[in-house]
Amino acid sequence: MKRNKIVVLTGAGISAESGLQTFRGEDGLWEGYRIEEVATPEAWRNDPIRVQRFYNERRKKCIEAQPNAAHRALVQLEEYADVQIVTQNIDDLHERAGSSNILHLHGEIRKSQSSLDSTMTFPIEGDELKMGETCTFGSQLRPNVVWFGEPVPNMGRAIRLTKDADFLFVIGTSLQVYPAANLVYEIPRGCNLVVVDPSIPHIEPNGNPIKIVKEKAAIALPAMVSHFAKHHTF
């Protein structure tokens, strides 16, 4: 039997039950910080110490967090389908849960990158990237994060994967940040949309079948994967 191709677009909501803050909503990260001060190239130029401190604090929380039942359910789904995670998250919870195919759109908080070449990335030992650290080629290191206003290098690959999907899962994202949110409109005709979120973001299904699951991911996904194992649909 042909294995379904399932692309899973995840956002901060899938890590919420691991104790990591989402960005928008009552206690969202952007309630406590101004994006212009911590998540843009200008912020890095103007006050790199504040930016570094922001990501060092988030990195500590990411290291302390554990994958939750939603991350684990997506690993189990690999027994029954070809699963490709496309995540907006910079935490490494999908990796630590054991997912095999993960594409990060917005970078990885456990890595740094050369300030001169974003494709040159390096693992960060421990939880702190110190100011002034340089890479083996001598350029200053910065967090491996795609800041607002910067290009999303993996977007082309994400679109190619989505165009070939039988299912597109949209889990824990408000779909308010582009170009990531555009993936929903790259699906082929007939591709099944499955949205898992306690408060559903606005999506135009454009004639594609859509299943809405108004529930927390760690609650809904294990049962959905068990159902798929038996019926090869959600």
Q: Catalytic positions, please?
A: 106
Quick one: CA dihedral 212, 106, 24, 62, positive or negative? positive
Task: Name the pairing type of β-strands 102-104 and 167-171.
Answer: unpaired
Closer CB to ligand APR, residue 9 or residue 161? 9
Q: If you ran DSSP here, which 8-state letter would residue 203 be given?
A: -
Q: Record the tokens describing residue 172, joined without a space.
A: 């824990």
Helix H or strand E segment including 169: strand 167-171
Closer CB to ligand APR, residue 27 or residue 125? 27
Closer CB to ligand APR, residue 43 or residue 217? 217
Instruction: Work out whether 18 is an interface residue with ligand APR (CB under 6 A).
Output: no
Q: What is the CA radius of gyration of the chain?
A: 18
Question: How many residues lie near ligand APR (CB under 6 A)?
Answer: 24
Q: Considering only residues 82 through 101, tell me which ones interact with ligand APR, judged by CB under 6 A.
A: 88
Query: Within a 10 A sphere around the Cβ of 214, how many other Cβ atoms?
Result: 11
Shortest gap between Cβ of 106 and ligand APR (angstroms)?
A: 5
Instruction: Work out whether 13 is an interface residue with ligand APR (CB under 6 A).
Output: yes
Shortest gap between Cβ of 214 and ligand APR (angstroms)?
A: 10
Shortest gap between Cβ of 192 and ligand APR (angstroms)?
A: 19
Instruction: Work out whether 152 is an interface residue with ligand APR (CB under 6 A).
Output: no
> Binding site annotation covers 25?
yes
Closer CB to ligand APR, residue 22 or residue 76? 22
Find out whether 94 and 101 touch, Cβ atoms under 8 Å: no
User: Which part of the chain contacts ligand APR (CB under 6 A), choosing from 109-117, 150-158, 190-198, 223-231?
Assistant: 190-198
Alpha helix (H) ranges present in the chain? 29-32, 35-38, 41-46, 48-64, 69-76, 93-97, 155-162, 217-231
Shortest gap between Cβ of 1 and ligand APR (angstroms)?
A: 30
The only residue of 9, 197, 213, 234 in contact with ligand APR, by rule CB under 6 A: 197
Sheet holding 5-10, edge to edge: 102-104, 82-87, 5-10, 167-171, 192-196, 210-213
Per the annotation, binding residues are: 11-30, 55, 58, 88-91, 172-174, 217
